Structure 1
């Protein structure tokens, strides 16, 4: 005799969702930074010291691409440089974003003066519009060199063949490294803001006072 076990008329099964749908089409900037560093170590992207920048731009025909956000560039910029920000200010005022902005302000913003940003999803599009020839020489620069690593990786993926990376960013630039600077600050201090800016000004003042006292 066969034992018959009654079965429910409808058995609920969770819907099968393709794995691709669960993945977001977004990769963290740190991944691109690592990729950019690998491109430099392999020699595919040229590392350019700030003291070499004037020659590279003036004599070798490199386009200087500044990827800093607007508020840094307004303080100081190389005259004639191309500007396409890699990150832009996040203007969303939803409750979750506002909470993130508040945390950012407390931990980072008050000290550095940096605003809460989001990735500029039109970055490569704007660069291609400005420099359509992908054989062009492009020297990518930011404040400290990290954001420009991300930008280098993105542009390499877009097909640019002759990329350069400003080692250490504008923060390592000294007077004379670039032909002409516009703005109200020294180029190397443009990234610094918030409380750290006034702390730096105090250190510079004390250093100057100490030198004058010795004289």
Structure 2
């Protein structure tokens, strides 16, 4: 017969992070007249969500390493000097029929007009981070908008990492000169590429019209031909 004695939880807070100290005592009877006490200690860390200014303080004052989780294309356009790079998503070069169709549509729209790569989740993300950092390492995760870094931090927390922070609005919120950077553009502009950078909103609208026309002609050639015949001759 085994009984649980008691379980208590204590919490401590800092400016950036909340952690819980869980102390458990288990009482189990192993044989008549004798008891066995077993105690376990568990620490669970909460992810810190901070802005760009707080991120600078963590790096400069508390020794946090910067982990960039953007894809290779955005990383090469601009990244913080001396940061580490482990992409949460990698380029999808699979050649099954469904992926080929999706990649073709993507490259004719998002890829062409917005410069976005066709990607898939990186199956080796957590293992790649583990190969470079211990679970006790202090890591500041960054991406362009703040979404991928949040997902990445959650994965790493589940894998046992205890000192994690995320820049909530991503690198797009970083002011010029806030961090020393490397690349062909500024950090806050690294998420933009393709025709959208040349003609702005006009190219986005025209691009949408053109891709819709392309898809209509591709999948409905007979209807497209009839519409062309109805057009007035010059």
- TM-score, structure 2 as length reference: 0.64
The aligned counterpart of 1:194 is 194
Pairing partner for 2:104 from 92, 102, 105 = 102
CA distance in 1, matches of 2:113, 2:70: 18
Q: Secondary structure at the match of 2:62?
A: coil
Distance in 1 of aligned mates of 2:56 and 2:201: 27
Work out the CA distance in 1 between the residues paired with 2:52 and 2:198: 25
Deviations 1:166-209 (A, max 9, x none): 1110011112321x11111000000111122223599xxxxxxx
Q: Provide the rounded CA distance (Å) in 1 between the counterparts of 2:185 and 2:62.
A: 28
1:54 counterpart SS class: helix
Q: Classify the secondary structure of the residue corresponding to 1:130.
A: coil
Q: String of CA shifts for 1:135-173, please: whole Å, max 9, x gaps.
A: 111111100011111101100110111110011100111
Q: Does 1:53 find its partner at 2:55?
A: yes
Q: How does 1:62-141 map to 2 (within 5 A)?
A: 62-131=64-133, 133-141=134-142
Q: Structure 1 or 2: larger strand share? A: 2
Structure (1/2) with the larger helix percentage? 1
Q: Cα offset for 1:107?
A: 4.1
SS state at 1:100 partner: helix
Distance 1:201 1:82, change over 3 A: farther
TM-score by length of 1: 0.69
Q: CA deviation at 1:55?
A: 1.8
* Aligned equivalent of 1:185: 185
Q: Distance in 1 between matches of 2:132 and 2:199?
A: 38
How many equivalent residue pairs?
A: 161
Aligned to 2:163: 162
Q: Secondary structure at the match of 2:195?
A: helix
CA distance, structure 1, for counterparts of residue 164 and residue 117 of structure 2 = 28
> Could you tell me how far 1:113 is from its partner in structure 2?
0.8
> Which consecutive residues of structure 2, in runs of 5 or more, have no partner in the other structure?
1-16, 19-44, 203-234
Secondary structure of 1:185 counterpart:
coil
Gaps of 5+ in 1: 1-38, 203-215
Task: Provide the rounded CA distance (Å) in 2 between the counterparts of 1:167 and 1:194.
Answer: 26
Identify if the C-alpha distance between structure 1 residues 157 and 46 changes in structure 2 by more than 3 Å, giving closer, same or farther: same
Structure 1 runs (4+) deviating above 4 angstroms are none
Q: Deviations over 1:97-119 (max 9, x none)?
A: 11011222344222221111111
Aligned partner of residue 91 in structure 1, secondary structure: coil
